[in-house]
Amino acid sequence: MKPIVADTDDRRWQAVCERDTRADGQFVFAVLTTGICCRPSCRSRRAQRENVRFFADVAAAVAAGFRPCKRCQPDKDYPQQQRVDKVAQACRLLEQDAPLTLEALAGQLAMSPFHFHRFFNPSPA
């Protein structure tokens, strides 16, 4: 997926309106009325344009007095990287000699068996 060019506030706002995941990592937006900063792809209710400010990164938004969104967690690794890390950790556990049940393996990764199973059997897109 090719990243977008979000070099103006109008393009950034368009990315926010479209919840474009390609813009994640290029900037964050903050909402004056809530005091929260989010990724462009955040699924939270869209704010009014006049209440939105753009920042280069989460650190700049936090320095300006905003807190990271609890839904999209812009201060954390990107969801794709979290997924890769969990899968790699599961593979390392499976390479060990001790047999593991689904419940035990999920527990080692701090996940429920249901969510762990979904990692390896994602629904078709």
Q: Which two tokens stand for residue 72?
A: 């999209």
Is residue 36 within 8 Å of 52, Cβ to Cβ?
no
- For 27, phi and psi rounded to 5 degrees? -165, 170
Cα–Cα distance between 55 and 62 in angstroms, integer? Answer: 10
Pairing type for strands 36-38 and 28-31 reads antiparallel
User: Quick one: DSSP state of residue 61?
Assistant: H
Query: Cβ–Cβ contacts within 10 Å for residue 38, how many?
Result: 26
38 carries an active-site annotation: yes
Catalytic residue among 37, 38, 69, 72: 38
Catalytic residue positions?
Answer: 38
